Amino acid sequence: MANLNMRNLVKKLSSLPQAKLSRRADFKIKFSLYRLMFLSSIEKMSVSWKMIPLLTRGLSFAAIILLIFGTSSVYAYTSDTVIPGNPLYPLKLAVEKVEKVTAITPAAQVAVNEKLSDRRLKEAVNLSRTKVDASPENSEKISQKIENSITAAINNHQVAVEAKNKEQEAKNNFSENRNNQVTSIYVQENDQAQTNYLNQIKKFAETSQDQRILDKVDEAHQEMNKSNNDYELKKGNDSSNNEKQNNNNEYNNFQDKPNRKSERGQNRISSSTPDLSIPLNQNLDLPTSLNINLDIKDKEGGAYKENND
C-alpha cells in the first residue's frame, strides 16, 4: 500500500474509468421504453374510447365519413379542374347522375342537361390545354378523352332539346308560363357559351393539328345546330297550330256560352237564340264578338229575370 498514500487516494478514486452503457444495451432499454409508452398510450386511448357511448361513437364515425365524402363531392362537383383522369372525376359524375334523376320537370331537365353539356365542353377545353404539353403517348389518350367529352356534351344537348320539346308541348297546353320563358332565355345564353367552348377546342386542335378533334368539333356544331333547328321548326309549327287552336278555343267559347245560357233558360223562354255561327276561315274580331256575346247574355239574363219576376 506504499504507493497508494492518501494524497493520491482521492485522485485515484476520482479517476476511475467512467462506465458507458453499451449500444446494444442502450437499444434494448430504449426499445422496452418505447414499447411501454406505446402500450400505455393505447391503454389510455381505449379507456377514453370506451367511455363514449356506442351510439355517439357510431354517429361520430358516420359524421367523419360524411364530412370526408361530402367535402370531396362538393369539391369534385364544383371544380372545373376535376377532369377525366382525375381520381375525383367518378365522384363528380355520380353527383351529376343524382342531379339528373332529381330533375323531374321539363324545365329542370333542360337546365340540368344544358349545364352538363356546358360542363363537358369546359372539361374538353381544359383537356385541350393539358394536351399542349403532353407526351405523344399521353396526347393520344387525352384526344380520346376530349372526343368522349364532346360526345357527352352533344348527348346532353340533345336530351335538353328533347326536354325543350316537352316543355313546348306543356307551353301549348298552358298558354302562359313564366318559367318557360326564363328557361328559353337560359338556353339561348347556354348555346352561345357552348359555341364559344367549341371554338376554343377548335383553336387548340388547330394548334396541335389534331384532325380527329377538328372533325369532332364540326360534328358537334352540326349536331347542336340540327337539334336547335329541329326545335325551332317544331316550335314554329306548334306556334301556328297553337294560334289556330287558340282561335278555335275562343270560337268554341264564343259558341258555347250562348248555348249554355239558352239551355238554362230553355224551359222558361220560348224565344230561340240567334244563329251566330261564323266560318273558321273568316277573320274574327274576337273582342267584339265577345262583347256581342256578353250583350246577348245580358239581354237573355234580363229577359229571364223579367220573366221570372
Partner 1 sequence: MSKDTNSYISYYNEFKDKIYHYFLYRIGLDKPLAEDLTSEVFIKAFKNFSSFDKTKKFQPWIYMIAHNHLVNHYKSAKQTVSLDDVAPYLGDSGTQAETRYEMNRVLRIIDSLPESDRDIIRFKFIDGLASREISELLGREEGAIRTQLSRSLHKLRGIINGNSNLNEDNL
Residues near partner 1, by CB under 8 A = 1, 3-4, 6, 9-10, 12-22, 25-26, 28-30, 32-33, 36-37, 41
Q: 2 vs 104, which CB is nearer to partner 1?
A: 2
Nearer to partner 1, 18 or 282 (CB): 18
Residue 20 vs 178, nearer CB to partner 1:
20
For residue 57, the minimal CB distance to partner 1 (Å) is 23
**C-alpha cell at position 2:** 506504499
All three cell numbers of 227: 337539334
- Cβ closest to partner 1, residue 4 vs residue 280: 4
CB of 8: closest distance to partner 1 in angstroms? 10
Nearer to partner 1, 3 or 308 (CB): 3
Report in angstroms how near the CB of residue 2 gets to partner 1 at its nearest: 9
Nearer to partner 1, 36 or 59 (CB): 36
Q: What is the 3-state secondary structure (H, E, C) of 261-275?
A: HHHHCCCCCCCCCCC
Give min distance, CB of 7 to partner 1, in A: 10
Complex with partner 1: residue 15 or 272, whichever CB lies closer: 15
Residues in contact with 94: Cβ distance below 8 Å, sequence separation at least 6, in sequence order: 73
Distance in angstroms (rounded) separating the CA atoms of residues 123 and 132: 15
153 touches 121 (CB < 8 A): yes
What is d(CA 226, CA 242) in angstroms, rounded to the nearest whole number?
A: 23
Minimum CB–partner distance for residue 31 and partner 1 (Å): 10
Q: How far is the CB of 98 from partner 1 (least distance, A)?
A: 44
Q: How far is the CB of 46 from partner 1 (least distance, A)?
A: 16
Residue placing its CB nearer to partner 1 in the complex, 5 or 288: 5
* DSSP-derived secondary structure for the chain: --S--HHHHHHHHHTSPPP---HHHHHHHHHHHHHHHHHHHHHHHHHHHHHS-HHHHHHHHHHHHHHHHHHHHHHHHH-TT--TTSTTHHHHHHHHHHHHHH--SHHHHHHHHHHHHHHHHHHHHHHHHHHHT--HHHHHHHHHHHHHHHHHHHHHHHHHHHHHHHHHHHHHHSS--HHHHHHHHHHHHHHHHHHHHHHHHHHHHHHTT-HHHHHHHHHHHHHHHHHHHHHHHHHHHHHHHHHHHHHHHHHHHHHHHHHHHHHHTTTT--SPPP-----TTS---HHHHHHHHHHHHHHHHHHHHHHH-
Nearer to partner 1, 37 or 67 (CB): 37
CB of 47 to partner 1, least distance (A): 15
Shortest distance in whole angstroms from residue 50 CB to partner 1: 20
